[in-house]
Amino acid sequence: MLKKKKLVLSKAKLYEKIGQDQVKCIACAHYCRIVEGRTGVCGVRMNYQGDLYLMVYGKASAVNIDPIEKKPLFHFLPGTEIFSFGTVGCNFACDFCQNWDLSQSAKEVQKKAKDKDERMLRLGKLVDYGQELPPHEIVKYCLKNKIPSIAYTYNEPVIFFEYLYDTAKLAHSEGVKNIFVSNGYESEEAMNKIHPYLDAMNVDLKSFNEEFYNKTCKAHLEPVLKTIKRAHDMGIWIEVTTLVIPGENDSDEELESIAKFIADVSTSVPWHVTAFTPNYKMDQKPSTPPESLQKAYKIGKSAGLKYVYTGNVFDNECQNTYCPNCNHMNIGRDWHSVTKNEIGQGKCSKCGADIEGVWQ
C-alpha cells in the first residue's frame, strides 16, 4: 500500500561540516560538497540548515521477493529467496539504466524547479512516492516468511545508507544476511561502517575504460576497482557483473582487461557477463548477440577465472556451476531457477574439491 505523507528528513550518519552552511557527504566516492538547500549527485541527500539529511529513509519505491540468482549471486545460498528493495535516486547516471524512472527521478525534478521552494515541493512529492517500510518491518517479514537474506538493490544502495544501515544491523542481529547489489561507488568510510553487517556484494564493473565511466555513467573507474578489492580483502563474498554492450565495452581488449583485473583480485570471484537490451538513452542500440557473451565467457576462463556465467540469455550450459578441478556440474540452473544442487558443504560431489562460496 502506498501512503502519502509529508516530507520527512532523517539526519545522515556519513557527512562532515564545512564552515557554517556547507557539508561534505562521505557516503560515496563522489564526496559531494553540498550547499544549504541542495542535494548531492544522488538527489536524495540534502543539506538542510547546515546538516545533511536523507530524504528517503523508510521509503521503499521498489519491493520484491526474488530468487537470489536474479541479483545475480550464484555462489551465495543458491535456490533461496531474497527480500529486495530500493528507493529513488542514484549517484550514477548511466545511459542504459534499466531502472531510470526510479534512479534518475530525483535529479530530473530538481532540474525543472525555478527556486528553492519549488525544488523542496517537487522533492517532497517525489520521495513521498513509495511504500512506508521501516527497517523493523522488513526484518519481521523475512523472519516470518523464512527469507534468509535482504538485498539493497534497484538503485545504488549506499545513497540511502542510513536506511540500509539500520535495516542491516537489525537483520544481522536476527541471523538474516545482507547483500549489496551495487555500482561499486561506496566510500571507504561507508564500507568500514557497514562491514560488520554486510555478507555479500554483487558489483557492476561496467567497463575498464575511464572515458566510458565519464561519458556514459558520469562517474570514474578507479573507485569501483577499489571497492571490489576492498570488499574481497574484508572477507565479504563478492561477485562481479559486466553488462556487455555492443560497440561500447565488448572488444576483446576491454573484456580481457576486466577478466585480468578480477583474476588478480581472486580467481574464485564469479564473473557474470550479461546481455544488454535497448533502454533509456541507449534505446537505439542493438541487443547483445549470444556470441559476444560466449566470447566473454571464453576470455574469462582463459584469464584463469574458475567461475564465469552468462546472463539475460537462454544458455543452460554457461549458467551452471562446474567443479574447477574435475568439471563435474554441481549446480544446474534454468534461468533463475536451480534445477540441481549437489554443493553441500562447499565441496564437489564427485571429487571433493573446494567450490568457493557461501552455501549455508
**What string of H, E and C letters represents the secondary structure of 193-218?**
HHHHHCCEEEEECCCCCHHHHHHHHC
Is 38 inside a domain boundary? yes
Is 174 inside a domain boundary? no
> How many whole angstroms separate alpha carbon 38 and alpha carbon 120?
9
Is 39 inside a domain boundary? yes
Is 289 inside a domain boundary? no
DSSP secondary structure, 136-161, as one string: HHHHHHHHHTT--EEEE-SS-GGGGH
Residue 240, φ and ψ in degrees, nearest 5: -120, 140
- Per-residue pLDDT tens listing for the chain (360 residues): 223 344 567 899 999 999 888 999 999 999 999 999 889 999 999 998 899 999 999 999 999 999 999 999 999 999 999 999 999 999 999 999 988 888 887 666 666 656 666 666 666 666 666 789 999 999 999 999 999 999 999 999 999 999 999 999 999 999 999 999 999 999 999 999 999 999 999 999 999 999 999 999 999 999 999 999 999 999 999 999 999 999 999 999 999 999 999 999 999 999 999 999 998 899 899 999 999 999 999 999 999 999 999 998 878 889 999 999 999 999 999 989 999 999 988 999 999 999 999 998
State residue 1's pLDDT score. Answer: 22
State residue 8's pLDDT score. Answer: 62
Q: Of 261, 346, 271, 256, nearest to 302 (Cα)?
A: 256
- Reduced to 3 states, what is the DSSP secondary structure of residue 79? coil
Is 28 inside a domain boundary? yes
Q: What is the identity of the amino acid at 157?
A: P
Distance spanning both ends of the chain, measured CA to CA: 34
State residue 123's pLDDT score. Answer: 65
Domain range enclosing 42: 10-54
State residue 5's pLDDT score. Answer: 43
Residue 314 CB neighbour total at 10 angstroms = 9
Q: How many domains does the chain have?
A: 1
Is 35 inside a domain boundary? yes
Is 21 inside a domain boundary? yes
Pull the grid cell for residue 175. 541471523
Answering whether pTM is above 0.75, one says yes
Is 304 inside a domain boundary? no
- Reduced to 3 states, what is the DSSP secondary structure of residue 250? coil
Q: Of 24, 60, 55, 221, nearest to 152 (Cα)?
A: 60
